[in-house]
């Protein structure tokens, strides 16, 4: 029996558009996607997929459900089989148990009950209520984001004991810890609390803001079996509908920024949890392919965080911009000061991600010094080379302008139009990347490629192919391929055709290698020449043949 916690973890990783889009072609239609229904014949699309609700529905035949239900219906699988298939496809580990008690539901209730306890305590603490009022937070926002207050440690411990919460469970969920004296204490005490939810709206932990002189102004729940801050965005469960409708997400640095922006009508705002954006955040941010606006403080830490996030997003094909707040202000302050028009203007014309990243790199150097100018050019060029060829060409001139050098000195990787060999290699690169991207979303095709393709067939992207075969799907190289818009996903027939193209090229090269190989006997050479020619005939008929390394014959 699959543990419910594992199933919930899988559901948090699934995007209904991504899952269904790997089976059929979806076309954007307003906030939703449409297609011809795969469950009944039709010429006019009546099959609708809702990213906001994470469901699908056909207005023709009436089928509907979530991503798991679609896989069950389409592939004729039962529920556990569909769970296993999707878990394998999305590289989510499933845990199995024979226990009848639903521990996951119990753990969820523990955190939910504690959240209610904190919310009730807020009403009884004048100091905490005054802090929120002074920051300009309305009562409606307190309710919307379920803000609370954690009292003294012993009060929280008493509450958990009275609700029969075991020490083991509370420790595993990151709610208590053990002090130097060996006694347990509540992690959140004398702090305003901000419950943190998964994208699907399941509470998994808390953030806390001190209202005393505690040196740690903000803390989050620690890493636990239900809480992983590198995969969570504060406020996303409230913002996702607007994000999908507007096609834009604002990423800020803190809880109060998110709350105040929502209060001012910017309901597409989210925040990372006291940490920089990570690779694990990319799949969440990229749901629905929105434009990403980074809204960070103007201090050194904020500018550096904006630079790292700009590089992370731009090198993965995500568009957007950067807004840096100066004069010691942040989004929350501007909302409190009723500067909504100015905020709207800033978010409307952010600095493009690539321009910000290049500008930040150049700003680190004294460009009046020729040696430092050269170092700036090298670092900026290395960044440009991580972008698509079109963007490299587009931003060469921009880099030259801000550095004050001739554009011809900005030498990024590009194909030479008169160099046939290099032009062919670039086509080969795209072909390999296309196959890898297809395999990332359609894992059932891996069996096909394993029977016919050896590692050496991937001449330019062998490392990415090895990561794929080893199931390291969260590696930055594979994540970058998965979200690139310039790479298409092939259907089954297109996929097999591309494999045949690879194998045909490989066997033609093998024909030459074997013909000129002086280290094998005449009999062996004749055998392999006949074999390769037969392979080429089969490939020309549309068949697939096994891969063999002809370069190692001796």
Residue 48 shares a structural domain with residue 167:
no
Secondary structure (DSSP) of 425-456: HHHHHHHHHHHHHHHHH-GGGHHHHHHH--GG
Residue 112 shares a structural domain with residue 210:
yes
CA 23 – CA 77 distance, rounded (Å) = 15
Short-list 345, 341, 296, 288, CA closest to 319: 288
Residue 260 shares a structural domain with residue 173:
no
pLDDT, one tens digit per residue, over 110-137 is: 999 999 999 999 989 999 999 999 999 9
For the ranges 258-267, 446-455, 514-523, the lowest mean pLDDT is seen at: 446-455
Whether residue 479 is contained in a domain is answered as yes
CA 481 – CA 18 distance, rounded (Å) = 15
CA 483 – CA 318 distance, rounded (Å) = 8
For tokens 């990372």, name the residue: 272
Whether residue 258 is contained in a domain is answered as yes
CA 320 – CA 313 distance, rounded (Å) = 8
- Average pLDDT, integer, range 350-356: 95
State the pLDDT confidence band at 418, using cuts at 50, 70 and 90: very low
Q: Which of the listed ranges 96-100, 313-317, 353-357, 418-422 does the model predict with the highest average pLDDT?
A: 353-357
Secondary structure (DSSP) of 410-427: -------TT-HHHHHHHH
Please report the pLDDT score of residue 411 as a whole number: 74
Which residue, of 227, 248, 263, is where some domain finishes?
227
Whether residue 356 is contained in a domain is answered as no
Q: State yes or no: pLDDT of 108 exceeds 80.
A: no
Residue pair 33/49 in contact (Cβ under 8 Å)? The answer is yes
- Average pLDDT, integer, range 55-76: 85
Q: Strands 269-271 and 248-252: what pairing?
A: parallel
- Average pLDDT, integer, range 87-115: 74
Residue 129 shares a structural domain with residue 33:
no
State the pLDDT confidence band at 427, using cuts at 50, 70 and 90: very low
- Average pLDDT, integer, range 263-275: 91
Compute the mean pLDDT over every residue in the chain, rounded to the nearest whole number.
84
Q: State yes or no: pLDDT of 288 exceeds 60.
A: yes
Residue 426 shares a structural domain with residue 543:
yes
Whether residue 94 is contained in a domain is answered as no
Residue 427 shares a structural domain with residue 543:
yes
Please report the pLDDT score of residue 554 as a whole number: 65
pLDDT, one tens digit per residue, over 375-412 is: 988 898 889 888 888 888 888 889 888 888 877 777 76
State the pLDDT confidence band at 98, using cuts at 50, 70 and 90: low
Q: Which residue has the higher pLDDT, 120 or 27?
A: 120
Residue 219 shares a structural domain with residue 108:
yes
Domain that holds residue 292: 236-347
Which residue, of 89, 115, 136, is where some domain finishes?
89
List the CATH number of the domain containing 276: 3.40.1360.10
pLDDT, one tens digit per residue, over 440-485 is: 877 777 766 666 665 556 767 777 887 877 777 766 667 667 766 5
CA 292 – CA 464 distance, rounded (Å) = 27
Residue pair 435/498 in contact (Cβ under 8 Å)? The answer is yes
List the CATH number of the domain containing 20: 3.90.580.10
Q: Which H helix or E strand runs over 209?
A: strand 203-210
What does pTM read for this prediction?
0.61
Residue 198 shares a structural domain with residue 177:
yes
Please report the pLDDT score of residue 388 as a whole number: 82
State the pLDDT confidence band at 417, using cuts at 50, 70 and 90: very low
Which residue, of 172, 201, 227, is where some domain finishes?
227
Residue 165 shares a structural domain with residue 247:
no
Whether residue 353 is contained in a domain is answered as no
Number of independent structural domains in the chain: 5
Q: State yes or no: pLDDT of 101 exceeds 50.
A: no
Give the sign of the dihedral formed by CA 126, CA 128, CA 131, CA 136.
Answer: negative
Please report the pLDDT score of residue 267 as a whole number: 95
For the ranges 24-38, 259-273, 345-359, 435-449, the lowest mean pLDDT is seen at: 435-449
List the CATH number of the domain containing 461: 1.10.860.10
List the CATH number of the domain containing 187: 3.90.980.10
Residue 318 shares a structural domain with residue 442:
no
Q: State yes or no: pLDDT of 294 exceeds 90.
A: yes
Phi/psi of residue 107, nearest 5 degrees: -65, -40
Please report the pLDDT score of residue 103 as a whole number: 53
Whether residue 98 is contained in a domain is answered as no
Q: What is the three-class DSSP state of 97?
A: coil
State the pLDDT confidence band at 239, using cuts at 50, 70 and 90: very high
Whether residue 414 is contained in a domain is answered as no
Q: Which H helix or E strand runs over 314?
A: helix 300-314
Sequence length of the chain is: 554
Whether residue 144 is contained in a domain is answered as yes
Q: What is the dihedral of CA 279, 281, 282, 283, to 10 degrees?
A: 120
Residue 156 shares a structural domain with residue 189:
yes
Residue 267 shares a structural domain with residue 213:
no
Please report the pLDDT score of residue 252 as a whole number: 95
């Amino acid at each position: 029996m699959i543990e419910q916690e594992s199933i919930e973890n899988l559901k948090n990783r699934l995007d209904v558009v991504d899952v269904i889009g790997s089976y059929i072609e979806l076309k954007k239609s307003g906030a939703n996607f449409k297609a011809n229904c795969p469950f009944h014949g039709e010429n006019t699309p009546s099959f609708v997929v809702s990213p906001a609700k994470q469901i699908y529905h056909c207005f023709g035949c009436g089928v509907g459900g979530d991503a798991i239900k679609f896989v069950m219906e389409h592939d004729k699988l039962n529920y556990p089989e569909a769970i296993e298939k999707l878990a394998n496809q999305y590289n989510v580990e499933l845990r199995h148990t024979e226990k009848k008690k639903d521990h996951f539901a119990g753990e969820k209730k523990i955190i939910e009950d504690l959240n209610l306890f904190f919310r009730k305590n807020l009403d009884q603490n004048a100091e905490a209520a005054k802090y929120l009022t002074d920051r300009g937070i309305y009562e409606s926002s307190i309710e919307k984001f379920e803000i609370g207050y954690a009292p003294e440690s012993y009060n929280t411990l008493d509450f958990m004991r009275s609700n029969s919460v075991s020490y083991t469970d509370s420790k595993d969920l990151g709610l208590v810890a053990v002090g130097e004296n060996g006694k347990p204490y509540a992690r959140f005490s004398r702090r305003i609390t901000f419950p943190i939810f998964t994208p699907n709206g399941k509470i998994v932990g808390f953030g806390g803001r001190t209202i005393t002189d505690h040196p740690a102004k903000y803390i989050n729940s620690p890493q636990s079996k239900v809480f992983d801050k590198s995969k969570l965005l504060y406020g996303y469960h409230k913002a996702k509908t607007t994000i999908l409708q507007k096609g834009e997400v604002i990423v800020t640095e803190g809880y109060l920024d998110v709350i105040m922006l929502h209060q001012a009508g910017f309901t597409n705002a989210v925040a990372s949890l006291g940490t920089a954006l990570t690779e694990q955040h990319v799949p969440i941010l990229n749901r629905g392919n929105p434009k990403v606006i980074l809204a960070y403080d103007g201090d050194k830490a904020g500018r550096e965080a904006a630079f790292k996030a700009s590089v992370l997003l731009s090198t993965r094909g995500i568009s957007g911009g950067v807004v840096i707040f100066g004069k010691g202000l942040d989004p929350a302050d501007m909302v409190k000061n009723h500067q909504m028009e100015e905020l709207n203007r800033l978010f409307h014309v952010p600095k493009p991600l690539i321009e910000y990243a290049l500008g930040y790199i150049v700003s680190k150097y004294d460009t009046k010094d020729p040696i430092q100018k050269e170092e700036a050019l090298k670092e900026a060029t290395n960044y440009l080379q991580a972008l698509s060829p079109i963007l490299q060409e587009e931003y060469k001139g921009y880099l030259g302008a801000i550095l004050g050098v001739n554009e011809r000195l900005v030498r990024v990787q590009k194909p030479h139009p008169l160099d046939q060999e290099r032009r062919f290699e670039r086509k080969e690169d795209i072909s390999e990347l296309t196959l890898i991207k297809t395999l990332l979303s359609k894992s059932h095709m891996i069996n096909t490629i394993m029977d016919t393709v050896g590692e050496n067939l991937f001449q330019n992207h062998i490392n990415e192919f090895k990561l794929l075969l080893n199931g390291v799907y969260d590696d930055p190289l594979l994540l970058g391929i998965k979200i690139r818009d310039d790479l298409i996903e092939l259907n089954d027939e297109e996929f097999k055709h591309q494999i045949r193209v690879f194998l045909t090229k490989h066997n033609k090269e093998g024909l030459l290698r074997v013909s000129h190989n002086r280290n094998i006997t005449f009999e062996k050479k004749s055998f392999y020449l006949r074999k390769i020619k037969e392979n080429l005939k089969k490939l020309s008929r549309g068949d697939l043949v096994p891969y063999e390394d002809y370069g190692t014959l001796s």
